[in-house]
Structure 1
Amino acid sequence: MVSFPSPLLTLTLLIQLLSQFTTLQASLLDPTSSNSSSVSCNQVEREALVHFKAGLKDHSRRLSSWFGTDCCSWAGVGCSKKTGHVTKLDLRNPYYPYSNDQLYHLQNSSGAAAFELASLGGKINPSLLDLKYLSYLDLSLNDFNYTPIPNFMGSFTKLSYLNLSSSNFVGLVPHQLGNLSNLKSLDLYSSNSEIWVSNLNWVARLSSLKYLNLGYVNLSLASTSWLSVINMLPQLEELHLPGCELDQVPYSLPFVNFSSIQVLDLQVNLFNSSLPQWVFNISSSLVVLNLRGSGIGGYTLNDIDWGYFCHMQTLDLSSNEISGEFDKFVSSLCKCDNNISLQVLDLAYNNLGGQIPESLGNLKNLKSLNLVANPISGSIPASIGNLSCLEELYIGTKLSGTIPESVGQLKELINLSLEGNWNGVISETHFQSLENLKTLVLSSWNKSLQFDVSRDWIPAFSLQHLYISYCQIGPNFPQWLKTQKELRSLSLVKVGISDRVPDWLWEQTPQLQNLGFYNNRLRGKLPKSLEFAPGATVDLSSNLFEGPVPLCSRVTSLSLRNNSFSGHIPENIGLKMSTLEYLDLSKNFLSGAIPLSMSKLKRLQGISLYNNLLSGKIPMWKPLTSLSVLDFSKNNLSGTIPSSICSHPSLDILKLSGNNLSGNLSSLQNCERLSQLGLAGNQFHGEIPNWIGEKLSNLAILSLGGNMFSGNIPENLCHLSNLHILELRHNNLSGQIPTCLGNTLSSYMEPYYSADPGFHPDYRNDMELNVKGDIHEFSLTLVLVNLLDLSNNNLHGEIPKEVTNLSTLGTLNLSWNHLIGNIPEKIGNLQNLETLDLSGNHLSGTIPPSMSDMTALSHLNLSYNDLSGPIPSTNQFTTFNDPSIYEGNPKLYGCPLPTNCSTFNRHQQHESQDENAGDDKMLWFYFHLGMAPGFVVGFWAVCGTLIVNKSWRHAFFRFVDQMRDRIWVTYAVTSARLLEKLKATRMET
């Protein structure tokens, strides 16, 4: 059986070969050194190198050739041909994964591992000081594990070249480096930004310096003096100070001493000024000017006479706040006539307007043009085809019109990106001579660009990266892609394809690093298993794919969201997709249990199974140290929240809403990192735990609505200072609304942006909330929502006036409780409020006039209360024309109700009269209604007793006879007396 060497051994041998090749190449280029000198190696210097090697860590055995007596033949060592002294020590990492040199670039997942393996580490032994004639020292691209640069580095008096860049040095740059008076090139570029200087005075002593690179070395302590020091280096030709945290740049200098400078790189600093005047003093020598993202902006590009920069080859002013008109800028450049040297022009991410002029075609030497993210309008001129040297073209944003066919004449073009509002068609002519094209990015935001190529078209190019979005390619899948054998990235987004993906494409996936087909109508089943390039990202979301979930090996991100996948999630997904970091299977029809094997996804950072048909219990997963997002909401999961849920130390977002979970929340006490907790729509019961406000202090979103929680709203929730969504609707909560919700949250309830999003951008932050009277699903905009929803509970008391302190609140819903009192007078302070629902309470009083000033308010519901008085008729209230938002308040009047003030008063009078008349009628009704039972009761109470009791009956009738006799006697006597008086009166008359 033939045995093959291990991958690690193969990689080690390759690194050694590369090291030998680098040494050989360096010796050929350097006539002062030799690896096979006729003069023997100096014994002292050989021993110095041996001691130096002993202190190093050489995992890849790059220094395996360092044995024997002739140190001049050792890898990376160069000697003088005349004296044999060591003059050169080049231990630069020969493998750099980001190099454009294909010799050093393997272009696979072993890249980072190979670079790390080839890096030297350990300690730098001061024995190197015995190399008295050393003039060249390169230790770049290694890993010295965050150790300081040794002070003795300043003792190599003959050194002319020193490169310690990207080798993980930290701390203070030793001022002893200023002793290297013969130094011509110094490179201390830092890849970790943890190296700094106290001042740059030592640099002023390096009078022979021609090249200086202090990239990402912290120079903030030298912000006021850096330019005066640089001005003392008369021979300086290249200055690289990117990312040095410089915040000051003098506008002018009394004299310019570094007039020989050719390269000026000040990108990514903190300047807040316009282009300094002294730059014009060196314009005649400048070849490269890079001010990208430096804060040198706020000026108009057209205020500068660019005719002074005729020798400029690279101009990068991107990511500043520069304004002006691009066509006038090009006209200024054209003052150089035929002497325009410009090769690279990057003005991306500024505020440039105007149009792209025809005169752009005069920049014959241009190799790279980047104008993206500027408000430049108009169309691309046909003269673009005259830029015969152009290799990179990036145009975007507000440009419109048709894409000229002359683009197809750019034979040297490698990268082409055209993003705008294009219309018309793009045909084979647009690509006819683009033989070297490797990257094509094409987007048309108005969706009016139509691809018109024949089905059997064979392009001249062989693409590596293809990104097409919002164009019309479909309905059929483009067959010409079959000819693109070198594709590593393929993204067709919203291009109108409603076809099946052909089998030949799935056969190409092993080389794909990126595959995106989202927002189309692709259909059919996927192969049961797919293999991609290591570390691939795959997004097939928002299509019509069906069938089982495929096993995609070697991917780090997989999104199958919003399709029609069904069946169970593969049980062995944790074994077959072990490199997975992000998984989004939301909005499908997946059923069954959540596989236990997912706990083997050690790299998993985010998982969303939102809105499926999954059942069973939440599995007890082993701790996943990187897991940040877990979304199992809107399924049929049951049981309790497992105690292992908080064993994931990085868990930041937990969403279990819309299931059948029950029990209490005690298992969440240790999830102290949580910023979002969604448990709405379950069957949790008991009181809301007090510890939420103490142990989950990072919460920004708390959603517990639609459960069976009871008791009071705990005041400890007021300790959640980052809270911007509090949703407790549809529970059995009672008591009063805590006043501290307003006092505590007033200065913190702001749009929440997580410093560490913790998930791939393809992941959608899904959550359903009651906004504007209906349930809405929020996704990417969830971070912008500020909401307080306590509706459909049993809360009582008044609305706390402190609620009006929540000035950034967007939604306030207190409906269907038992709240009383007035609407707070200062509710108009809620200037950002879009939704206000106070319906179904017992609120009284008038509508506060301040509500007219709530200009953001678009949804209002005050129905079914006891409000009175006029409805405001100014500002925002003129837009509320639906009477139903006021119904159930009989004492309210004004538009849009049918009653105004006068008709309301008349109505009140009529209503009063009707009420009086109604009262009389009711009084007679009750009088007659009471007579019948009164008569019956009274009759039988008297007569019934007389019938039953004989002695009472005799006594009663004796009493009646006696009373009859008395009345008769009294009547007779009285009548007789009256008659006598009448007779006497008549006789007298």
Structure 2
Amino acid sequence: MDLKLKLRLRPSFFISFLIFILFLINPNFGLASNPKCISTEREALLTFKASLTDLTGRFSSWSGPDCCNWTGVLCDARTSRVIKIDLRNPNQLVNSDEYKRGCLRGTIHPSLARLKFLSYLDLSSNDFNGLEIPEFIGHIVSLRYLNLSSSSFSGEIPAVLGNLSKLESLDLYAESFSDSGAFSLRASNLGWLSGLSSSLKYLNMGYVNLSGAGETWLEDFSRVSTLKELRLFNCELKNLPLSLSSPASLKLLEVLDLSENSLNSPIPNWLFGLTSLRKLFLRWDFLEGSIPLGFKNLKLLETLDLSNNLGLQGEIPSVLGDLPQLKFLDLSANELNGQIHGFLDAFSRNKGNSLVYLDLSSNKLAGTLPESLGALRNLQILDLSSNSFTGSVPSSIGNMVSLKKLDLSYNAMDGSIAESLGQLEQLVDLNLMANTWEGVLQKSHFVNLRSLKTIHLTTEPNRSLFFKLPSTWIPPFRLEFIQIENCQIGPSFPMWLQVQTKLNFVTLRNTGIEDTIPDSWYSGISSEVTYLILANNRIKGSLPQKLVFPKLNTIDLSSNNFEGPFPLWSTKATEIRLYENNFSGSLPQNIDVLMPRMEKIYLFHNSFTGQIPSSLCEVSGLQILSLRKNHFSGSFPKCWHRSFMLWGIDVSENNISGEIPESLGVLPSLSVLLLNQNALEGKIPESLQNCSGLTNLDLGGNKLTGNIPPWTRKLASLFMLRLQSNSFTGQIPAELCNVPNLHILDLSGNKISGPIPKCISNLTAIAHGTSSEVFQNLVFIVTRARQYQDIVDSINLSGNNISGEIPGEILGLSYLRILNISRNSMAGSIPEKISELSRLETLDLSRNRFSGAIPQSLAAISSLQRLNLSFNKLEGSIPNLLKFQDPSIYIGNELLCGKPLPKKCPKDIINSRLL
């Protein structure tokens, strides 16, 4: 066969010929889907990479000859030119460790400018640590998309960005999440925007400081006539022009966000010329005045957010209900008032209403909820909380079949809850707390709530709202959050509660439950529960002894009838309240292991015995230890050290013996120390003078001895000093007069002698009435005792051996409300100017040696409610103006006469004879 013919007939010849033909038809045939890049552009990318720090290996693929296959790089399939760079942080959970590691750092090399065909550049959510936006970016004139948001740029936005005449999307959102703190990106001159006027559709300059842009800022933005979306969130804009020279220039605008600025103006009318608007955000702008009727022009509006302006007032106009496309409406946190009937009636007329979200919370809206509420059949979120609505939940609520969240909390609703509520199969979150509900809740209220996860339901303490559910009823829902307060659920612990085994938050306070709670219920919720509050019921029985609560933060079982030993629950709870129960036995010696994160423990009013475990010294975060009114014995732990945050100790009314530990004096935060009504002995340790923040010290009812310590003058914050019913001797130290915040001084029932120091007028808190609320709150937080809620400025020196006269200086304590110096050895007369103590409520001078007449001015103290002058040497007639007619107040004064004593005065005898 001819050689030429043989070559023609070989298969390889035909294959090669076919490939040649295909190349003629399609020049790109055979090229890889990511073509090998241009070498000069590859070098530019490598130079750019070298200037950056990458902690997560995002640049690991940036090697080899084909840059078009590198992560974040896209080339044109035909020309192999780099057209896209996307180096956005792949982790968008800001402030997380993964986000911070994912941030590129370093500088942006000008080599990027060599990419002459680059149309897309995204460097967002990185950390350039205050770097200025490079000017060379303004020379990449092929850019259509530029995103530099949240990458910690600072300084002035370069005007050269105005050269990007093809740019369609520009995102300069400047909120920074850098470890180095916030950086300020600013634009003092917006003239460069005119260069983008024929192309830009999306512009986000949130958090860019525009305060230097002057009053023409709005005109500058309006020159970009192609804009569809403009976001100027938190830009420090100080004014909102009420007019716009050419509002038609923004006629394409669909999204406008001016939120979190200080606009301080009414809503301007030019807005209503932007008839393409779909979303309008004006929250936190300090807008004022009423909501204009001009909103009726914005027929395409889907989202309207006017929340948190605080100054918007008047009624909600019904025109908002006529907007056919409105899906999201937030008017919360304003001064809107009146009823909402007309507004909701408009929605009911608008049969095709598509409203999905409605928030009118935190206003001054009033009246009842209209039946037209049920017309919002597409509504998923309804928040009417923190207003002044009254009446009942309307029966039409059952028509709102799409509702997922209903919040009527913090109103004045005093009616019933409609049974139709039970038809809301999509309802997830129900919040009806802080109203004054009444009536009965039945099975029909809950029967179809299959999606319910959260319920808040509280009313006034009189429990006018009753649950009347079948005892064996099992509901269709499994709750994760339950808060019911002051409603009658009990006396049994019903089945519908027993089956709730997915709870992570439990509050059943004052619900009338008197039953025992099955152990299985506690164990069923143990894995997820964070709050367990069953306070103010009458629940009885013992608690399960060993349970693990890995997420529990707060335990409050107070004011019940629980009994048995302290529960050995392993938990990370920071607050434990078991007070006012019948718990008994000793506290676990390893309490520090069981509850290592304990900050506050309230066990008062129980029957605990044994010693207070020294392992409490190992709970370094402990702040409050309240063990009042138990049967603890032995000595108080002596192992405290300086690292502790312990600031409140109440172990009063126990059987604690031994001396007060010196180590208490090293607690840097100690503020409240209540050791009264125990069997402590010895002297007050001098180390307590180091507790400079001590506000309340009560050591009364012990066996303490020695003198009243003079170092109390160092305790400048001391509000209450009670050392009553001990065996202190010596005189009242003059240094005590120099405690500037002292409001309560009780040294009664000791063996103190000598006179009352004349410097007592230096107790400036009592003399001038300085505020005591902070210190009162501190002691109440620790004790929860009513006796400390109404404590008043008082001095009690009764039951000692104090001698001398009442010093005239004491009359300078003009805010004194209780003065008791009874059962002493004082003499002299009662000061004639006693009425200068014009706020005095109790005065007890009994069982002394006071002589002379009862001052007439005593009758001028209108606040005086209790008076005792008995068993002295007073003489003369009892002033007629005195309102106290109990003879026991005056007995034991042989030379006193007149009413209410039976002994008549001589002048009365003469007058009766003349008559």
TM range (shorter): 0.7 to 0.9
Of 402, 419, 429 in structure 1, the residue corresponding to residue 444 of structure 2 is: 429
1:418: how far off? Answer: 1.7
**Residue of structure 1 equivalent to 2:591:** 573
- Structure 1 length-normalised TM: 0.70
Q: 1:355 aligns with which of 368, 371, 377?
A: 368
User: Which of these residues, 147, 155, 172, is aligned with residue 174 of structure 1?
Assistant: 155
2:388 is matched with which residue: 369, 375, 386?
375
User: Which deviates the most, 452-461 or 842-851?
Assistant: 842-851
What is the alpha-carbon distance in structure 2 between the residues aligned to residue 423 and residue 148 of structure 1?
A: 59
Q: For residue 567 of structure 1, what is the amino acid of its counterpart?
A: G
Corresponding residue for residue 564 of structure 1: 582
Tell me the residue number matched to 2:6. Answer: none
Q: Over residues 89-111 of structure 1, what are the superposed CA-to-partner deviations in whole Å (9 max), with x where a residue is unaligned?
A: 22164557xxxxxxxxxxxxxxx
Higher deviation after alignment, 701-710 or 501-510: 701-710
**Structure 2 counterparts to residues 713-724 of structure 1, below 5 A:** 713-714=732-733, 716=735, 720-724=739-743
State the distance in 1 between where 2:813 and 2:317 align.
Answer: 48
Of the three residues 87, 90, 100, the one matched with 1:89 is 87
State the AA in 1 paired with 2:694: L
- For the residue of structure 2 that corresponds to 1:481, the secondary structure is helix
Aligned runs of 1:186-201 on 2, under 5 Å? 186-189=172-175, 195=182, 201=188
| Aligned-partner SS, 1:611 | coil
Native 8 Å contact 1:284 1:311 kept in 2: yes
Query: Which secondary structure state, in structure 1, belongs to the residue aligned with residue 690 of structure 2?
Result: coil
Q: Which residue among 651, 673, 679 is the counterpart of 1:632? A: 651
Deviates more, 1:273-282 or 1:256-265: 273-282
- Who is 1:664 aligned against? 684
Shift of 1:615: 1.9
Indicate which of 472, 482, 485 corresponds to 1:456: 472
Matched, 1:160 2:146: yes
| Aligned positions, number | 806
Aligned AA (2:601) = L
Return the alpha-carbon distance in structure 2 between the equivalents of residues 522 and 623 of structure 1: 40
Distance in 1 (alpha carbons) for counterparts of 2:647 and 2:73: 51
| 2:534 aligned with 1:517 | yes
* Pick aligned residue for 2:432 from 397, 418, 424: 418
- 1: CA distance between counterparts of 2:332 and 2:885? 50
| C-alpha contact (below 8 Å) 1:185/1:209 kept by paired residues | no
**One-letter code of the match for 1:499?**
D
Alignment of 1:856-867 (within 5 A): 859-864=865-870, 866=874
2:716 paired with 1:697: yes
Higher deviation after alignment, 419-428 or 335-344: 335-344
Select 2:454's aligned residue among 439, 443, 448.
439
What does 1:727-806 correspond to in 2, within 5 Å?
727-733=746-752, 734-736=755-757, 738-741=759-762, 743=764, 746=767, 749-753=770-774, 764-766=781-783, 777-778=787-788, 782=789, 785-792=791-798, 793=800, 794=802, 797-798=805-806
Mapping 1:252-651, distance limit 5 Å: 259=274, 260=277, 262-267=279-284, 271=286, 274=289, 287-290=302-305, 293-296=308-311, 299-301=313-315, 306=320, 312-320=326-334, 322=335, 324-328=337-341, 330-331=343-344, 334=347, 337-338=350-351, 340-396=353-409, 397-419=411-433, 420-445=435-460, 446-508=462-524, 509-556=526-573, 557-619=575-637, 620-651=639-670
Deviations 1:760-815 (A, max 9, x none): xxx943176xxxxxxx633xxx3x644323341537543656766655x6656555
1:104 maps to which residue?
none
Partner of 2:674: 655
C-alpha deviation, 1:301, in angstroms: 3.3
Task: Compute the displacement of 1:38 (Å).
Answer: 4.2
Q: What is the identity, as a one-letter code, of the residue corresponding to 2:426?
A: E
Change (3 A) 1:845 1:226: farther
Question: 1:959 maps to what in 2?
Answer: none
Whether the 8 Å CA contact 1:736–1:796 is kept in 2: the answer is no
**CA distance 1:814–1:48, change in 2 (3 Å):** farther
Residue number in structure 1 paired with 2:106: 125
Output aligned runs, 1:969-984, within 5 Å.
Answer: none
Q: Secondary structure at the residue paired with 2:437?
A: strand
Contact 1:501/1:522 (CA < 8 Å) preserved in 2? yes
Taking a change above 3 Å as real, the CA distance of residues 580 and 250 of structure 1, as seen in their structure-2 partners, is: same
Shift of the 432–258 alpha-carbon distance from structure 1 to 2, 3 Å rule, reads: same
The one-letter code sitting in structure 1 at the alignment partner of 2:831 is: N
1:42 match: 42
Asked if the contact 1:604–1:624 (Cα under 8 Å) also holds between the matched residues in 2, the reply is: no
- Shift in CA distance, 315/46, structure 1 to aligned 2, threshold 3 Å: same
Q: Could you tell me which of 139, 142, 151 is aligned with 2:125?
A: 139
Tell me which amino acid in the other structure corresponds to 2:265: P
Give the direction of change, closer, same or farther, for the CA distance of 1:803–1:529 in structure 2 (3 Å limit): farther
Q: Distance in 2 between matches of 1:457 and 1:528?
A: 29
- Distance change (3 Å), C-alpha of 1:883 and 1:255: farther
Q: 1:361 to 1:194 in 2, by over 3 A?
A: farther
Give secondary structure in 1 for the equivalent of 2:441.
Answer: strand
Alpha-carbon shift at residue 590 of structure 1 (Å): 1.3
Which whole-Å CA distance do the structure 2 matches of 1:246 and 1:803 have between them?
56
What does 1:891-930 align with in structure 2 at a 5 Å threshold?
A: 897=900, 906-907=907-908, 909=910
Distance in 2 (CA, whole Å) between partners of 1:324 and 1:691 is: 59
Query: For 1:599, what is the secondary structure of its paired residue?
Result: helix
Paired letter, 1:634: E
Q: As a proportion of its length, which structure holds more helix? A: 1
3-state SS, counterpart of residue 120 of structure 1:
helix
Shift of 1:444: 3.0
Higher Rg of the two aligned structures? 1
**1:262 Cα deviation from its structure 2 partner:** 2.6
Question: Retained in 1: the 8 A contact 2:843–2:868?
Answer: yes
**Distance in 2 between residues matched to 1:394 and 1:533, nearest whole Å:** 31
Per-residue deviation at 1:210?
5.2
The alpha-carbon distance between structure 1 residues 429 and 704, as it changes in their structure 2 partners (threshold 3 A), is same
One-letter identity of the residue aligned with 1:491: T
Partner Cα separation in structure 2 for residue 828 and residue 309 of structure 1: 68
Greater Cα shift, 723-732 or 559-568 = 723-732
Where structure 1 has 5 or more consecutive residues not aligned to the other structure, the ranges are 1-34, 97-111, 769-775, 914-989
Post-superposition offset of 1:571: 0.6
Q: Distance in 2 between matches of 1:534 and 1:884?
A: 62
**Corresponding residue for 2:265?**
250
Partner SS, residue 773 of structure 2: coil
2:4 matched to which residue of 1?
none
1:406–1:646 Cα change, 3 Å: same
Q: 1:327-349, CA deviations, whole angstroms, 9 ceiling, x for partnerless residues?
A: 44645754873365543333334
What stretches of structure 2 of length at least 5 have no aligned partner?
1-31, 195-199, 237-258
| Whole-angstrom distance in 2 between the partners of 1:677 and 1:193 | 45
More deviation, 648-657/658-667: 648-657
- Verify the 8 A CA contact 2:341 2:372 in the aligned structure 1: no
Instruction: Give deviations 1:647-705, integer Å, cap 9, x for gaps.
Output: 444444333333333322312122233344333333344344343333x3334444444
Counterpart secondary structure, 2:538 = coil
Q: In 2, Cα distance between the equivalents of 1:390 and 1:380?
A: 14
Distance 1:481 1:522, change over 3 A: same
CA distance in 2, matches of 1:272, 1:617: 64
Identity within the alignment, %: 28
For 2:778 and 2:84, how far apart are their aligned partners in 1? Answer: 51
> Which amino acid in structure 2 is aligned with residue 407 of structure 1?
L
| 1:550 CA displacement | 1.3
